[in-house]
Amino acid sequence: MIRFDRVSVTYRGGVHALRDLTLEIPDGQFVVMVGLSGAGKSTLIRAINGLVPITSGSVFVDDQDVARASGRELRRIRASVGMIFQGFNLVKRASVMDNVLMGRLHSTPGWRSLLGRWSAADLELGFEALERVGIVDKAWVRASDLSGGQQQRVGIARALAQQPHIILADEPVASLDPPTSHQVMRDLKRINEELGITTIVNLHFLDLARVYGDRVIGLRGGELVYDGTGAAADDGAFRDIYGRSLTAEDVLETPAA
Amino acid sequence: MTAPTPATGTPRPTRPRRSPFVALSLLAGVVFTLYCAAPRPLGIGVDLGAIASNLTRGREIIAQLLRPNFAFFPRTVTPLIETFQMAVVACLIGCAVGLPLAFLASRVTAPGRWTLTIDRWVLNVVRALPDLLYALIFVAAVGIGPLAGVLALIFFNIGVMAKLLSESTDAVDVGPVEAAMAVGASRTQMVRSAVFPQVLPNYVAYSLYIFELNIRASTVIGIVGAGGIGNVLNTQMKFFNFSNVALVVLELFLLVLLIELASVSLRRRLV
């Protein structure tokens, strides 16, 4: 379970990214978070794994206080939280497998990671993760030789290799074309259902949020302005989130194929 | 200088006035160069006429330099091999030590502000000392011979590698760094898995470049007796045996050329 208790994040320079936010996400839920750029979506996600330090309040992951965790504890929390990025964040020169097995670093002894010699068990976990996103045949290809959609699947496989309880996805489809976006969203949803991994996805596109979100959270100016089911998130709700009426630019327009 | 307003459409914005800074600094550069070249005692006294009138004086030396004494070759073999061996050993150790120091000196990979500052200062000092001075120090410390040369080259190599590689490290894609932190990797693991693969082609290229530098530097460090072909070069110059000097220079030229060819093909395979 993830719990935000009156969390505020203020960046240097005085930008209030999150304001007094309280939120609870039970295990196994598939949550889609929407909001304009700068509404605090990325900050909220990065507060969960401690990549962004919070200014006040507390964030709990499985009852562990992220802000008060020691370096070692924080790394253990991060190990249980997989993360997927808008820009994929792969080492492009390295093989797909080396990228995926980055997800095993939390339980790899120092000498092994220095030599780059993965154990047979970790290698098998890497293959399983790639199998789950359907690109196991690309295991030894250079990451830069893959298409955008395939690269994002490597990103997902890297998160899966961690064997996480939680997956955070920060704008995972913002760099992809509409059909590929749906494929990636379906992958995430399927993984959530099959493995019961709590999943939080930041999205720009409202129609995707409606289709995939069991629960939709709307942020505006660092505050929670909507929290409900995807089905109930009507145009009025989105007006609250975006502070204006929907336009064609807010939707992806391609039906889930 | 306002642009004519077009018949239709929005008025065209006028180009902002260029700052005179560029033109002024160019002018300052030219003036400063003229000052440096001015007649003594103002400058060093660059006199093109003197070059022409004195050209014939060096005829004897140039004539000798153009006729390398190949009979001298047998006596250069052992020192040449020694220079090569010194270059290999120093390059290997220098590049190995330079690698972690480079990561400690980069904003992307340094564990803290203090390590960064201290390491950069140390590296600045290491690099500020010229190779000749290192050679002098180590000849004084461990005596004349290749050991002093190797030690001098190692320090020289550490400075060069750490500087070049830390700058490449500053420029890596930080996306994978964030990903590595997010999976719960330690800092060392992050550097190894997210940063090192990105700078590996640079590391290989710099290592080969440093090896080449070591061959060249052998001429300098040989002057103070730190072993290798430099000793031979120095002795032959002192005795005005310019045909012998010419042979050594030719050999060094070919050696550097060979290394360059080898490194080009090696880089193509590795990168």
pLDDT tens per residue, range A164-197: 999 999 999 998 998 999 999 999 999 999 999 9
pLDDT of res. B263: 85
Which residue would you say has higher pLDDT here, B242 or A60?
A: A60
- Nearest chain B CA: its distance from A93 CA (Å): 7
As a whole number, the mean pLDDT across chain A is 91
Please answer whether residues B116 and B179 qualify as being in contact, where contact means their C-beta atoms are separated by less than 8 angstroms: no
Could you read off the pLDDT of A15-49 as tens digits, one per residue?
Answer: 899 999 999 999 999 999 998 888 899 999 999 99
Q: Say whether B175 and A103 touch across the interface (CB within 8 A).
A: no
CA–CA dist B213, B211 (Å, integer)? 5
Within 203-232 of B, beta carbons closer than 8 Å to A belong to none
Residue B183 to residue A158, Cβ atoms within 8 A: yes
**In angstroms, what separates the C-alpha of B163 from chain A's closest C-alpha?**
23
> Does this complex have an ipTM over 0.85?
yes
Q: B54 touching A, CB under 8 A?
A: no
Ordered mean pLDDT values, 10 residues apiece, chain B (271 residues): 64 85 94 90 82 76 85 91 93 96 94 90 92 91 91 95 96 96 95 95 92 89 85 89 91 90 83 65
B-chain residue closest to A81, CA distance: B183
Mean pLDDT confidence for A203-209: 84
Indicate yes or no: CB of A102 within 8 angstroms of CB of B180: yes
Closest Cα in chain B, distance from residue A17 (Å): 19
DSSP for residue A108: S
Task: Measure A91 CA to nearest chain B CA, in Å.
Answer: 6
CA atoms within 13 A on the CB side of A208: 31
pLDDT for A159 beyond 60: yes
Q: Are A16 and A220 in contact (CB under 8 A)?
A: no
Contact B186 A75 (CB under 8 A): yes
Instruction: Look at B184 and A77 and tell me if their CB atoms are within 8 Å.
Output: yes
Q: Beta-carbon neighbour count of residue A34 at 10 Å?
A: 29
Measure Cα distances from A35 to A70, A167, A244, B113 in Å.
Answer: 32, 19, 12, 35
Q: Are B181 and A78 in contact (CB < 8 Å)?
A: yes
Q: Which residue of B has its CA nearest to A84?
A: B179
Contact present, A128 and A158 (Cβ < 8 Å): no
Instruction: Using the predicted structure, report yes or no on whether residue A254 has a pLDDT greater than 60.
Output: no
pLDDT of residue A134: 93
Residue B1: the pLDDT is: 47
Mean pLDDT for A187-208 is 92
How deeply is A108 buried, as exposed, middle or buried, from its count of CB atoms within 10 A (0-12, 13-18, 19+)?
buried
Residues in Cβ contact with B182 at an 8 Å cutoff, skipping those fewer than 6 apart:
A49, A51, A78, A81, A83
A91, A94, A102 ranked by CB distance to B183: nearest? A102
Q: How confident is the model at residue A257 (pLDDT cuts 50, 70, 90)?
A: very low
Alpha helices in chain B (DSSP H): 21-37, 48-54, 59-65, 73-104, 113-128, 131-142, 146-170, 175-182, 187-190, 196-221, 229-238, 242-270
Exposure string of A226-240, with b = 16+ CB inside 10 Å and e = fewer, is beeebeebeeebbee
Confidence (pLDDT) at B59: 78
Encoded tokens for A186: 């379906």
Percentage of chain B beyond pLDDT 70 is: 97
What local confidence, expressed as pLDDT, does residue A157 receive?
Answer: 97
Phi, psi of B19 (to 5 degrees): -70, 140
Note whether A88 contacts B175, CB cutoff 8 Å. yes
Nearest CA in chain B to A158: B183
